[in-house]
A and B are shown apart, each in its own frame.
Chain A
Amino acid sequence: MSQRAGSHGYASSSNSSASSSPVQSTSHQAPPVSDWHTLAKPVPATFREVARLQPNLQPNSPPLSRWNLLCAVEFSPGGSHLAAAGVGKKICIYPISSSQEQPSTIIPSSSNHHPSKLSSLNWSPNHADVVALGDYDGVVTQLHLPTGHSIWQADDHDGARIWSVQYSEQDPSLLVSACEDGTARLWSHHSEHCLNIIAPRSQAALCSAVFSPVNSHVMALASADHNAYVYDLRATQEPLYTLRGHQDSVSYVRFLSGGSDLITASIDGSLAHWHCDGLPASQPGSEQLQSQQSQSQSTACSMQLDPVRVFRGHSNAKNFVGLAVEPTNALIACGSENNEVYLYHTAWAEPMGHQPLHSQPSKQHKSSGLLKRHTAAERSFASAVAWQPASNWRRPEEQLLAAALSDSGIQLFRPRFHSPN
């Protein structure tokens, strides 16, 4: 059953109780998070920059690339490091100190070279220093960062670009790649042999594939056919749900922490929130699985859903601009083609706030003219966003958001919430 906008805030999953969502402190007199869904207008948010991440190992070294377009920015599971990877074929690792307060510049602690352009990166949930990479040559790699040793590589997507790779939190031995060839492939951490292929009927390119955070059998896909899908991996002929409503390719899909709600992003310029009633809220036992499976299959072979809410304010008509859901407060960050990062909350369709990102031309570039743009109109966009994992902050003011601009580096922000008046 679909829910109409305005009827309630983000889904009444178990995480919405006041006790588990830290209340915004009194320093800015913003209303407590538990009250947000009662407010008609968004709580205003501003951003305080706390660090800039330099693209180069040494500040004076030659420019790697005038546009090392960063496609993936991800915090490590413990939040102590940030990995950035992109079209420049490089993975840079930055140390993130626990108290990032004064505006500072951070340089990479290490970097790894990759043969192909990188579209996506995901840290292994349970193996320190291991990341999965997806690249433009259709290769999935598991990389051990300190040694640069590639644990395995799978080149099975026939040269078609991979747009996302993701581990399952519930079962970290599983990972999934989403590819322009219209398939999502399931891999085991242990070897490069594909476990399963999920291919929606439309055969349109897949832009994103993610596991449910509570159930390793459930996966969501974002497709260029304008839909998102939720699949049960044990029965992939038909999706459990078809999320239909976007007017253009769906570029990202993310679960909220309860596992019943999803956020999608699309190049129709909107984000959408979807609620899937029948999705299991926890990893069930096998009997429960079977009965739920037959239940969901008997209600509809594939249930079509409308969005709970559609979010607008940012601009997105062409590129992957990044989407990150901060699970405990259902804060949603996304990039925008006007070089800004936008903050939404599931309670409101309008943004809580937005922040321009700044280019970082170095003095060297300016003097040598190497960064001459081809035309004045060469455009850039915010290309990736990531939230530091919640385990890193004790108070909500410590939430850390990383945002990358397509032609330069990364900035770290802390959002601040204000009184609506």
Chain B
Amino acid sequence: MSGWEDPQPMDADGPGVPSSSERNNAAREPAVTYVACGASHSLALLNSDIALSWGRGEDGQLGHGDADERKEPQAIYELLNSGVTSVHSGAEYSLACCRNRREVFSWGWGDFGRLGHGDARDVFIPRAIPGLSGKRVRDVACGDTHTLVSTFDAELWGFGRNQNGQLGLGHTDDAFAPICVEDLKGQQVQSVSCGSEHSIVATEEGKVYAWGWGRYGNVGDGSREDSSRRHRPARVQGLDNTRGVQVACGWRHTVVVDSEGRVYSFGWNKYGQLGHGTTADEIVPRLVETLSKRRIKSIAGGWRHTIAGDDKGQLWSFGWNKFGQLGLGKHDDAPLPELVIGLSGHTIAQLACGWRHSLAVSSEGQVFAWGRAGNGQLGLGDGRIPDQFTPQPVPCLSTGTIKLERFTSPRVPVTTYVAPADRYAVVPNQRQNSLPNGFMAVPQVVPICAQDGSPSSEQQQHGPSSHPLSGQLEQLEA
């Protein structure tokens, strides 16, 4: 669910992701180059190879080894010095691509195999996906419960839930490790995106294919009926005269940007997320007229909203806006694209949309966040922060003020796994929720007291698990 702009052409071998501005390159000043949004969490990448995460953490999606929320960006210890080149979010899980080292890491909720490790276990510390090791990964797309990875070798790999054929394999068996999408083999995919249960790609030839769940018309084949036809990639209708270059998915809607910078949208439109000024679903791609005078270069699909970036680096947002996730300074839904005035003066290089929030990075590396703040997903810090209706700079990530040592000083995770019984259906205690960032105490069972206050014999404690990273700590400090 993220969009980006490549300001410089990609080398076919992908030697490394170019940084977002030459100035940053020359000065090597730390700056954010990449952001991603999940359902209630966020990821960012500092060009000094530091992956950060914040927001909701109860499914392991932050990768810090515990199930706690973070209200401010925290570096993911396991990925320090791993050569991360991009970060990606599914609803409650995360991926990081290390293009040069040819590894992809995943962590978070593991059900249905969406993490690609060969099982369905949740992962709290990023783990490399064996099935993608050595591959020249070009791009990653995450939905709610499935993941697609495109390579520079004209392959598309899918894993995770497949009950609606969203992996495009021609059947509906879930895949717990990456499986190649045979129907697209040989076609070089240049853009890929996943919605809740559907998928879409644009190839380098400009052909657009979609598949999976499509009952809102979101696979763009003119029908609201799902069938086994949708278990394989099929050309999206009505785009034959255009070359699709970028695709993006929301929960049940889909957006395509063509080589001329025109935007087409289809699927669920209850909140105006298609940008046509209506709330009627569209079952085939329809041109977003309001943006036809602009050249759109980047696109991101949120849960029920969409944001497009034009060639001047301005953002246009439309759809659900109840929490201010459109950044328009109000919280009425917008069925037509509106300019995000709060970002005037900034050229947006990359943007991402989550379920109820949005993030953007300017070409100077300034990071903005807006929308729901209740789970810490905006990264604006402690305290009860209200929803933000206009883009807010994320203080600790703004160029010029980034203190690297804050992110790199060793904060070794204390736990590497939290059992479901210790993070779901847990009765809240009086002191609210999260403990101080980074150091979730190993889940403790409160001693049971007898009626007269004397402790009973029933007292259980879980001991801390031995931490496998402790050896690396010394290496870092050396």
> Using a CB–CB distance below 8 Å, which chain A residues touch chain B?
62-67, 69, 71, 87-88, 115, 117, 119, 136-138, 155, 158-160, 163, 180, 202, 204-205, 207, 224-226, 247-249, 251, 267-270, 310, 315, 317-320, 369-370, 372, 374-375, 377-381, 383, 406-407
At the interface, yes or no: B241 with Cβ under 8 Å from chain A? no
Partner of B119, one of A115, A204, A372: A372
Note all chain A residues with C-beta closer than 8 A to B447: 317
Partner of A137 from the list B40, B112, B251, B420 (CB cut-off 8 Å) is: B40
- List the 8 shortest-distance A-B pairs measured between CB atoms, nearest first: A159-B374, A205-B428, A158-B374, A269-B448, A320-B425, A251-B427, A67-B420, A378-B419
Across-interface contacts of A407 in B (CB, < 8 A): 420
Chain A residue, CB-CB nearest to B55: A159
- The 8 Å CB contact of B428, one of A207, A268, A369, is A207
Are the CB atoms of B372 and A117 closer together than 8 Å? no
A225 to chain B: which residues have CB within 8 Å? 430
Whether A317 lies near B448 (C-beta < 8 A) is yes
Please judge, given known A-B contacts A69-B424, A204-B430, whether A317 and B119 are in contact too, CB under 8 Å: no
Q: Which of B393-424 contact A (CB under 8 A)?
A: 417, 419-422, 424
> B420–A87 contact, CB under 8 A?
yes
B353 to chain A, nearest CB (A): 15
B window 423-450: CB within 8 A of A? 424-430, 432-433, 443, 445-449
Closest to B453 in A: A247
The answer, among B111, B425, B451, for a CB contact under 8 Å with A383, is: B425
Q: How far is the CB of B453 from chain A (nearest CB, A)?
A: 8
Q: Is the CB of A317 within 8 A of B445?
A: yes
Determine chain B's interface SS by DSSP, over half rule: loop
- Indicate if the CB atoms of B322 and A249 lie closer than 8 Å: no
Q: B430: which A residues are within 8 A, CB to CB? A: 202, 204-205, 224-226, 249
Chain A residue, CB-CB nearest to B444: A318
Which residues on A sit within 8 Å (CB–CB) of B120?
63, 65-66, 370
A406-B374 contact, Cβ under 8 Å, with A224-B430, A251-B427, A372-B119? no
| A305 to B40 CA separation, bound complex (whole angstroms) | 41
Minimum C-beta distance from B159 to chain A (A): 13
Cβ contact within 8 Å between B119 and A370:
yes
Q: Counting CB contacts under 8 A, is B93 at the interface?
A: no
**Set of chain B residues within 8 Å of A69, measured between Cβ atoms:** 420-421, 424-425
- Check B448 against A268 for contact (C-beta < 8 Å): yes
- A interface, over-half SS: loop
Chain A residues in 8 Å Cβ range of B451 = 270, 310
Residues in A neighbouring B417, C-beta threshold 8 A: 374-375
The verdict on B24 contacting chain A, using a C-beta distance below 8 Å, is no
Q: Is the CB of B448 within 8 A of A319?
A: no
Q: How far is the CA of A39 from the CA of B375 in the complex (A)?
A: 52
C-alpha spacing A318/B428, complex, angstroms: 9
**What are the residues of chain B within 8 A of A251 when measuring CB–CB?**
427
User: Using Cβ atoms and an 8 Å threshold, which residues of chain B touch A406?
Assistant: 420-421, 425
* Chain A residues in 8 Å Cβ range of B174: 62
**What residues of chain B lie closer than 8 Å to A117, measured between beta carbons?**
424
Instruction: Tell me, rounded to whole Å, the shortest Cβ–Cβ distance linking B218 to chain A.
Output: 15
Q: Mark interface residues in B172-186 (1 if CB within 8 Å of A CB, else 0).
A: 011010000000000
Tell me which residues across on chain A come within 8 A of B460, comparing CB atoms: 317
Given contacts A267-B446, A269-B458, A369-B119, contact A249 B427 (CB under 8 A): yes
Whether A319 pairs with B425 at a CB distance below 8 angstroms is yes
CA distance A319 to B374 in the complex (A): 23
Q: What CA separation (Å) do A163 and B417 show in the bound complex?
A: 24
Residue B121, interface by CB 8 Å? yes
New A-B pairs, 16, CB < 8 Å, besides A158-B372, A207-B428: A64-B111, A67-B420, A69-B420, A69-B425, A87-B425, A115-B251, A159-B375, A160-B374, A180-B428, A267-B427, A269-B458, A315-B448, A317-B447, A317-B460, A318-B427, A319-B426
Say yes or no: B173 contacts A62, CB within 8 Å: yes
Instruction: Report whether A224 and B428 are in contact in the complex, using a CB–CB cutoff of 8 Å.
Output: yes
A318 and B40 in contact, given A63-B120, A406-B420 (Cβ under 8 angstroms): no
Q: How far is the CA of A317 from the CA of B465 in the complex (A)?
A: 21
Q: Which residues of A contact B375 (CB under 8 A)?
A: 159
Could you say which residues of chain A place their CB within 8 Å of the CB of B425? 69, 71, 87, 119, 319-320, 383, 406
Contact with A along B331-368 (1 / 0, CB 8 A): 00000000000000000000000001000000000000
